[in-house]
Amino acid sequence: MLFKATKKSNMSLIFFILVFSWALSRWPMYADIAQLNHTTDAVEKLIDVGECRLNFQVIKGGNITILFESGGGLDSTEWSKLAPEIASKTGATIVTYDRPGFGKSDLPETPYDMRTETKWLWDGLKKLGLEKNLILVGHSYGGWLIRLIASMYPDNISGMVFIDPFSTELVDILGVKYLDNHPMAGKLPFDTSKPEKLTKFQRALVRMVSDGLERKTEIMRKTTIPEGIPVRLITCGKSFLPKPEEQIAWRQSHEQIVSKIKGAKLIAAEQSGHMIPFEQPELIIETIIEVIQLTK
């Protein structure tokens, strides 16, 4: 039977992805917060990047641009509350956007490719004139993606903030096969045999995860972090994964990331599970301010 596209089913669709997940039972609260705190200060623009149009929101500020990458299955509304607060406290230009297929961005017909979609993002930033002096902030799957952005465009990156990121290090600890067969990772909880009956959101998820982690991990193994930039990684302080050994692996992966980057610092969000942007937003703001100060 087709998995009906209700609000409850959407919660399940998001939660099943380990690298893109959070505390399922609290998702409705988060969704409401995002909607209620949508800022009118942001200018919304739909930009043609070739294969699709990407939806951007920009709060114009100074020469530093902070680019936010959302968690997997999420869109730019994840940052609706944080974006104006950070703009106010830093004076920086703030950019959030919807990845292809999510939010208000178009769903491409082409297969998912991390490098191609990073180039699309970059084409959009160039059209906005906001591709320089970037501080990258990425949550969960978005934390994996900012490593790719930084590796592809190292001269344009001034600093990085990882928020409870998924990582290549986690894949190495738990294994591709383990994650691809995990009920919260590789198995979609709805019938994919009739694509024409799937919602846009469901089709975007199918497109994103259908090829598994192996190819993505191969791409990410070749990435490097630019030398000499400030890097901070915020890790969750509360368990959110089903098994203790998975939670241990999650923390170990973060420790490994920091150990490989000169000058990087691990920060524990003691009061938060995976959804740190909603549970401890003030810690994210403090960390971004610290990174900005270190770029001067």
Distance of CA 266 to the CA centre of its chain: 18
- Range of lowest pLDDT (151-165, 171-185, 258-272): 171-185
Residue 179 forms part of a structural domain:
yes
* Collapsed DSSP state (helix, strand, coil) of residue 201: helix
Residue 110 forms part of a structural domain:
yes
| Percentage with pLDDT > 90 across the chain | 77
Round to whole Å and give the CA distance between 85 and 66. 13
For the question of whether the overall pTM of this predicted structure is more than 0.95, the answer is no
Cα→Cα distances 154→130, 158, 219, 224, 247, Å: 15, 9, 16, 9, 31
Q: Helix 214-221 to helix 141-152 angle, to the nearest 10 degrees?
A: 40
Cα→Cα distances 141→56, 88, 188, Å: 19, 26, 17
Residue 46 forms part of a structural domain:
yes
The pLDDT confidence band at residue 101, using thresholds 50, 70 and 90, is: very high
* Collapsed DSSP state (helix, strand, coil) of residue 34: helix
Please count the structural domains in the chain. Answer: 1
The pLDDT confidence band at residue 283, using thresholds 50, 70 and 90, is: very high
The pLDDT confidence band at residue 23, using thresholds 50, 70 and 90, is: very low
Residue 236 forms part of a structural domain:
yes
* Collapsed DSSP state (helix, strand, coil) of residue 134: strand
| pLDDT tens digits, one per residue of 123-170 | 999 999 999 999 999 999 999 999 999 999 999 999 999 999 999 999
CATH code where residue 185 lies: 3.40.50.1820
Residue 43 forms part of a structural domain:
yes
Task: Name, in order, each residue with C-beta under 8 angstroms of 262's C-beta and a sequence gap of 6 or more.
Answer: 227
Q: Domain range for residue 13?
A: 7-295
Round to whole Å and give the CA distance between 215 and 203. 20
Residue 1 forms part of a structural domain:
no
Residue 56 forms part of a structural domain:
yes
